[in-house]
Structures are given as structure tokens and as C-alpha cells.
Amino acid sequence: MSLVTFSGFPRIGLKRELKRALESHWRGDTGAQALLDTAGMLRRRHWQLAVDAGADVVPCNDFSLYDQVLDTAVLFDAIPARYRPVFAESPLDGYFAMARGYKRGGHDLPALEMTKWFDTNYHYLVPELEAGQRFTLAGDKPLAEFREARALGHRTRPVLLGPVSFLLLSKSVDGSDRLALLDALLPAYAQLLGALADAGADWVQLDEPCLVLDLDEDDRAAYRRAYAALAVARRPRLLLASYFGALGDNLALAAMLPADGLHVDLVRAPDQLAAVLDALPPAHVLSAGVVDGRNVWRSRPERVLPLLRAAQARIGEARLWLAPSCSLQHVPIDLQAETALDPPRRAAMAFARQKLEELRVYADALAGHTEAEAALAAQQAGLDAQVGAAGVVNAGIRACLRALGPQAALRRSAFASRRATQSAAMALPPLPTTTIGSFPQTDALRKARAAHRAGQLDDTAYDALLAAEIERVVRFQERIGLDVLVHGEPERNDMVEYFGEQLDGYLFTKLGWVQSYGSRCVKPPVIYGDIARRAPMTVRWSSYAQSLTDKPMKGMLTGPVTMLQWSFVRDDLPRETVCRQIALALRDEVHDLEAAGIGVIQIDEPALREGLPLRRGDWPAYLAWAVECFRIAAGGVRDATQIHTHMCYSEFNDIIEAVAAMDADVISIETSRSRMELLDAFVRFRYPNGIGPGVYDIHSPRVPDTAEMLGLLHKALAVLQPEQLWINPDCGLKTRGWPEVEQALLQMVGAARALRSELQLCA
């Protein structure tokens, strides 16, 4: 019989118990023991839940108090010197110092850098390594969790981040070659494997997700060297795990590495099965990742069963394990908590627990249990019934999209001529100033929104509050002399949720939390059906704001790619089709804003870059449809209407051509943290349109003065023309406090004035 297993479970807890325990500990309200008790309770609960759902083998060491990559660094003593004194006082404080920085007892330590875990919305801490780095097995977390589980009656498979992915995901602080550290690292891994074998572990899983990336010859050589070294050590059997994509040109390498089993992602890359079966060594186990660890839908038996039957026919049941495509940490825990969902919607969905139950049914069906086969047939029939169901398909929208010709993605004139029309229409000063959209979300605003949601504050009272807040924001901007104003977005809880709630095709969960980093969780909305706009979404507050002032008021929308990227997306349509539907809804909104007299419209795309596929070869296709969707949203307007976009990241070099192809009249980007480093991209490539490189880092409470902003602007002018330069902060101001914002924006306007007179551009 095939085993049901998985490589990781969400650790935050159904009700975000870990978040609460962490934050209470960080505040100093509870001691270390209370936190460790909650962590132990969650591990115990999750192991039991998985076993009850039908898992035969459960993992351990998939739990983390903060992040599994940080755990690995600490386990092997890759602790930068600056944190050591805190570690010496308390290992737990040292660990959190690396995770979040530390300011106490004379220490003032910044955290490790954080970055996205492959193409997920999970962020890991980037270990810092240097030439001559030493590694030792300094901790016993995997062993301790293995023993803890055994004491509870569970035989677990410890999960470790593999040595090569660990090094590739780290950064070298002195520019030395990370892979040169492999020989220093391997003995510590070998020692750990020996200890796990002694403790009674039959299998250990080594995660090597970097095997799905583009690798060069050095990377491949590192893999060969690493696994040759680990193969001779006294060790449990090794399951080498790849996920998030196809092994592709790394398949031969992955299959020849000395291990005892291989996990492959057959959700993202079902087509690789035949090649994987051909390459699999005769004694290897195949762990088939057949249910989606990245999304919330029930699997389709018509897709999964043929894969499993093909594998079973080739290698037999004993060598075939059934698993989710990747760790379940990227999906919420339990759909049973979602009692408010429509029954047909709920029937089509699966969270972590339901995914394990599905795997159990597949395993039973492979073993010939007729009830399991019947259950899968019923599951498929249920999903088929959804295909044409009301709410899922909107024939009108589909017809509109089909009718949309290629000209829909084009502005009427080229940028140069639009620019002339716009400056005649708007009379902005040179080096115009603006902000990114949101103003501080005060406590009073948040409380009012919560009370309104709970039905304790009626619409009239809530609307009056929003109107007063918008007026205050408008008057403030007028007073300090900003040129293009915003309404401040006080009515928005979240830039995706606000729109999702007003669009058909979206649903929202109660407890659908997914860890983003540390104690931070997001509750992504779910796109289950065709997207359609029911009514104008932003026109009311934007036109109210415009009615308060003679200055141009910028309408604010969240772009189609960002709406897609920060949601769980239906899996019965290509992502690009869903994105086009969103683009069409936004296009109508843009049109209505324009008709209501809003002459500047910003379509934010902060998530455009994070949607990039893991393999470079797949970038052009993605960028082509992503850019086209933006252009569809923006394409219907008159020349006089100025389209802005905003992106909050600084890694521009490799996508600058695509950003230019979006053809926004003005783009605002994050640059102040890197001291305008990103402008390097503009040395190589002459960005043609208007651009506002941020001069105020809103991620920090620090307020830069006019001179500092002027310094940044001078750097920008080394690669940009004065005619194309806008002056703005890095990102929205909603997380900042009013006093800092007032001061910073005042100084920003001062910097603009100073630069205008310096360049003898009069306003």
C-alpha cells in the first residue's frame, strides 16, 4: 500500500495561537516557557490532526518559532558575530535578535535581511556567511522534535533544509563564494544525520528546492559533492525533495545523487512524471506531490489518478508515496472552520487538513478500495458540476474579453504627444510633487471601520467620518503645497480586499490565515469565479475629494497583476485569463473615474515583480501578459488623462524593459533605502516616461531632511531628465504617524522648490 505523507504543516495555528504567543513574549508579557508550551501544544495538535486525517508518516522539524531557514543557520552555528553576545545571554533572545533586530541592554542590532521564499508570499531570513565561516552542529532541534513526537506515539521523518539550497539561499557578506563553504558545512550535516539514525529515524527529508531553478555547473558540482559526502555517513535513508516546479534540466542530476527517494512536484509540473519515472534509480522511492500545497482547491481526480496509476504501474505501490506538492505551510489549516461559505464553494475547496484526507482516499483507491474509488468519482462529479455553475461562469464577461481587440491595450497616442496634451490640460509645475496614495490609518479610523463592520456604527456615521478624514487630508496637502493630491484611502482596509469585496468572483474566509513571515499572517482572498464589477468602486470618494480642491486629485486603483498575485486563484482557468478579467473590471473603473472628472489615475502594481516565474526562460511569457493586462486596464482613456503606476521594490534591472512597456505616463518607485542604487538600471536603459524615484523611506520612522532628499534627487538627475522627474515618497503612508508624515512631506516640498530654483525652472 502506498504511504500518505507530507513535508510540512502550517505552524501558526488555526486561530493564530503562535502569533499571539510570540507577540506576547516579545512585549514581555509572557516568559519563554509560555511560548515554548504553546509551540509544543501546536506541534502535538498538528501531528494528531495529520494522523487523524490519514497520514501514515508525519514530518518533524517542520515547525519553527519564526523561520525554517533561520533555524538551519542557528542549528549549524552560522550566527554572525554581532548577535553572539545576545545568544550568550539567552539563545532564544539571540534567535529573535536575528529575526527581528534587538534593542536592549546596550545592544542595537538590525535584523537579518528578509526575502521571499521562491515565488511564495512567505519570507525567510537570509543567513549571512563569510569566507572561512565555520559550522558546527550547535543545536538539537530536529532530534528534540523527533523524540518529542515519538513520546507521543508518532514515528516522524525529520525535515531539513538541504546543504546546497541552504548555501544558495544565504548571502555572502564579503563577496566570497558561498559554495566554497560546502566542505566546511558537510561534516555538521553528516553528524546530524548520524545522530538522527542513532535516535531511530528511518528516513530524513532533505529539501533542495533550488533544484527547480536555473543552475550553473558550479551549483551542480556542489550537489554532487554534497550528496556523495552525505551518502557515506552513517545515516537514515534520505528523501531528496524538490518542489515549486519541474526539475527540468536538473532531473538527471537529482536522480543520480546518492539518496533513497525523490519528491517531485506534480501539480506545477505534472508533465515531468514520465521523465522522472525513466530517471528514477531502481531502489528509489518516488514521493509524488499530487495535491496542491500552494492553493485552496480540491484536487481533480481526473488529473491526479492517471499520474498515480502510471507511477504505480511502473514502480509498484511500495515505492510510491503520496504527498502534497510542497509543504502545506502555504495554505490555511482547516476548511471546517469556514462555516459561512456557500456549500458548493466549500465543496470545491481543501485546506491543509482536507488535502491530507484527499491523499488518504487516493492511496486507498490505488489499493483497490471501492469506496475510495467511488468517493473520487463523486469528487470529480462535484467539481464538474461547478464548471458551468452560476457565479463561476459569467458569459457576458467572457464575451467582452473575446471581443476586446489588441487596440484595447493601446493608448490613443504615443507618450510624447500625450505629455504635451497633459501639460496643457493640467498646468503642473516642473518637478511635480505627489504621494503614493494612503495617509496614516489612525486608530480612530481602524476602530470606526471595525465598528461599522460589526454593525455598531451605521453607514451615515461611518461615511461622515470618512468624508471628514478625506477633507483633512486634502486641506493638509493644499496647505503644504503638494501638486497632485490624493484622498488618502481612509476607506480601505487592504488594497486587495477593498476591491475584491466589490467584485463578483471573489470570496473571503474567516480563518484562512497563511504565514507571511514570523508572526505576520495574511488572509488572501479567494478568486473562485469569473471577475465582474458590479458597480463603480472608487468613484464616490475620488469625486468627493476632487470636489474639495482645484488641484488635480489622483484616483487610486490596485492593478490586475497585484489583485491576482495576492489572492488564491481558481485553478480551472489559466492565471493570465483571470488577470484579463480583473483588467477588464478595472478598465471600466478607470473609464468611470475619467468620466467623473478625475484626470490622474494611479494603478498600483507592487506585485508585478514577485509574479516572475522561477526559471528565466518563463519570464517573457509572463511579462507579456502581465504588461498587457496593465495596459488593458489603462488603455481606454483620453490622452489628457494621466496614468500613474507604483511599484515598491528596487530590483529593476532585469525587468526594466517590461516596466517601460507598461507605458504609464508616470511611475513611482522605491529607491531611498538603496540610496538610488536602482537607478543603475537607467544608465543602461533610457526610461522614456515620467518617473518618481522615492525620496522618503516610509518603512522607517526616521524623517529625512531637505538636504538629504536633495542629495537623492541630484543622484537621480545624473541618469534622468528634469522634464521626466517627479518627487514623491517611496510608498504609501498608511503605517506612519501624522507628525512624521507632516514633517517629511513638508521637507519634500521644500526639496522640490529648492531644486526648481537651482535648475532655474520656475513654477
- Catalytic residues, by residue number, are 699
Among Zn ion, ligand GLN, none, what binds residue 604 when CB lies within 5 to 8 Å by partner kind? ligand GLN
We find the least distance from the C-beta atom of residue 691 to Zn ion, in angstroms, to be: 15
Q: Are 307 and 325 in contact (CB under 8 A)?
A: no
Which one, 48 or 442, has the nearer CB to ligand GLN? 442
Q: Which residues are bridge partners to 672 per DSSP?
A: none
CB of 439 to ligand GLN, least distance (A): 8
Q: How far apart are the first and last CA of the chain?
A: 78
What separation in angstroms does the CA of 156 have from each of 67, 142, 205?
20, 10, 10
Question: Rounded to the nearest whole angstrom, what is the least distance from the CB of residue 667 to ligand GLN in the complex?
Answer: 12
For ligand GLN, the binding residues in 377-396 under the rule CB under 6 A are: none
* Identity of the residue, 293 or 606, whose beta carbon is nearer to Zn ion in the bound complex: 606
Q: Which is nearer to Zn ion, 338 or 730 (CB)?
A: 730
Instruction: Provide the CA 110 distance to its chain's centre, in angstroms.
Output: 23
CA-based nearest residue to 562, from 493, 626, 635, 622: 626
8 Å CB contact between 610 and 119: yes
Q: At what angle do helices 141-151 and 68-75 cross, to 10 degrees?
A: 110
H or E element at residue 755:
helix 738-758
**Using CB distances below 5 to 8 A depending on partner kind, what does residue 289 bind out of ligand GLN, Zn ion, none?**
none
523 to 562: interface string for ligand GLN, x by CB under 6 A: ---------------------------------x------
Cβ neighbours of residue 708 closer than 8 Å, sequence gap 6 or more = none
Instruction: Answer whether 567's CB lies under 8 Å from 496's CB.
Output: yes
For residues 82 and 554, what is the distance between their CA atoms, to the nearest angstrom?
46
Among ligand GLN, Zn ion, none, what does residue 438 contact (CB within 5–8 Å per kind)?
Answer: ligand GLN
Round to whole Å and give the CA distance between 259 and 230.
9
Q: Which is nearer to ligand GLN, 431 or 731 (CB)?
A: 731
Nearest by Cα to 336 from 713, 661, 14: 14
x-marked contacts with ligand GLN along 463-492 as a string, rule CB under 6 A: --------------------------x---
Q: How far is the CB of 680 from ligand GLN (least distance, A)?
A: 22
Instruction: Give one DSSP letter per residue of 517-536, joined into a string.
Output: ETTEEE---EEEEEEEE-S-
> Which of 124-132, 160-168, 193-201, 729-737 is the region at the interface with ligand GLN (rule: CB under 6 A)?
729-737
Nearer to ligand GLN, 19 or 609 (CB): 609
Instruction: Confirm or reject binding of residue 157 to ligand GLN (CB under 6 A).
Output: no
| Gap between the Cα atoms of 475 and 484, Å rounded | 13
3-state DSSP of 82-145: HHHHHHHHCHHHHHHHHHHCEEECCEEECCCCEEECCCCCCEEECCEECCCCCCCCCCCHHHHH
Interatomic CA distance for residues 712 and 571, integer angstroms:
45
Determine the residue with CB nearest ligand GLN: 732
Binding part of the chain for ligand GLN, among 243-251, 574-582, 682-690, 728-736 by CB under 6 A, reads 728-736
Quick one: 109 or 482, whose CB is closer to ligand GLN?
482
Pick the stretch among 9-17, 261-269, 534-542, 730-738 that binds ligand GLN (CB under 6 A).
730-738
* Cβ–Cβ < 8 Å for 187, 232: no
Which of the choices ligand GLN, Zn ion, none does residue 253 contact, using the CB cut-off of 5 to 8 A by kind? none
Pick 35 or 486: Cβ nearer ligand GLN? 486
Q: Site for ligand GLN (CB under 6 A): which residue of 169, 495, 537, 564?
A: 495
x/- track of binding to ligand GLN for residues 595-624 (CB under 6 A): ---------x-x------------------
Residue 223-242 contact track with ligand GLN, rule CB under 6 A, x = bound? --------------------
- The H or E element containing residue 756 is helix 738-758
Shortest Cβ 644–ligand GLN spacing (Å):
10
Site string for ligand GLN, 731-760 (x = CB under 6 A): xx-x--------------------------
Those residues with Cβ within 8 angstroms of residue 730's Cβ, 6 or more apart along the chain or in another chain? 436, 648, 669, 670, 671, 672, 673, 694, 695, 696, 697, 698, 699
- Choose the contact partner of 123 out of ligand GLN, Zn ion, none; CB within 5 to 8 A by kind: none
Nearer to Zn ion, 262 or 731 (CB): 731
Contacts of 267 (CB under 8 A, 6+ apart): 289, 290, 291, 292, 293, 294, 325
Q: Which grid cell sits at 240? A: 531528496
Q: What DSSP line would sit under 192-212, residue for residue?
A: HHHHHHHHT-SEEEEE-GGGG
> Distance between CA 258 and CA 227 in Å, rounded?
6
Residue from 13, 158, 301, 437 in contact with ligand GLN (CB under 6 A) = 437
436 binds ligand GLN (CB under 6 A): yes
| 8 A C-beta contact, residue 760 and residue 722 | no
d(CA 305, CA 710): 63
Binding mask 641-680 for ligand GLN (x = CB under 6 A): -----x-x--------------------------------
CA atoms of 245 and 326, how far apart (whole Å):
10
Among 438, 543, 567, 641, contact with ligand GLN (rule: CB under 6 A): 438
Q: How far is the CB of 438 from ligand GLN (least distance, A)?
A: 3
* In contact, 702 and 672? CB cutoff 8 Å: no
Nearer to ligand GLN, 260 or 730 (CB): 730
Quote the least distance from Cβ 732 to Zn ion, whole Å: 6
Smallest gap from residue 408 Cβ to ligand GLN (A): 25
Q: Cβ closer to ligand GLN: 437 or 490?
A: 437
Residue, CB closest to Zn ion: 648
Query: Which grid cell is 155?
Result: 514515528
Query: What residue 697 binds from ligand GLN, Zn ion, none (CB within 5 to 8 A, per partner kind)?
Result: none
Q: Which three cell numbers stand for residue 657?
A: 524593459
Q: Minimum distance from CB of 291 to ligand GLN (Å)? A: 32
**Number of amino acids touching ligand GLN (CB under 6 A):** 13
Query: What's the closest the beta carbon of residue 439 comes to Zn ion, in angstroms?
Result: 14
CB 664, min distance to ligand GLN, A: 14
Residue type, 469: E
Give residues in contact with Zn ion (CB under 5 A): 606, 648, 731
Residue 168 or 603: which CB sits closer to ligand GLN? Answer: 603
What is the closest distance, in whole angstroms, from the C-beta atom of residue 433 to ligand GLN in the complex?
A: 15
Residue 520 burial class via C-beta count within 10 angstroms: exposed 0-12, middle 13-18, buried 19 and up: exposed
Nearest distance in Å: CB 644, Zn ion:
12
Planar angle of CA 90, 96, 100, nearest 5 degrees: 145
Residue 333, binding choice from Zn ion, ligand GLN, none, Cβ under 5 to 8 Å by partner class: none
User: Considering beta carbons, is residue 495 or 703 the nearer one to ligand GLN?
Assistant: 495
Q: Closest CB to Zn ion among 299 and 728?
A: 728
Q: Given strand 690-693, what is the order of strands in its sheet? A: 554-558, 600-604, 642-647, 666-669, 690-693
Per CB under 6 A, does 268 bind ligand GLN? no
Contacts to ligand GLN by CB under 6 A: 436-438, 489, 495, 556, 604, 606, 646, 648, 731-732, 734
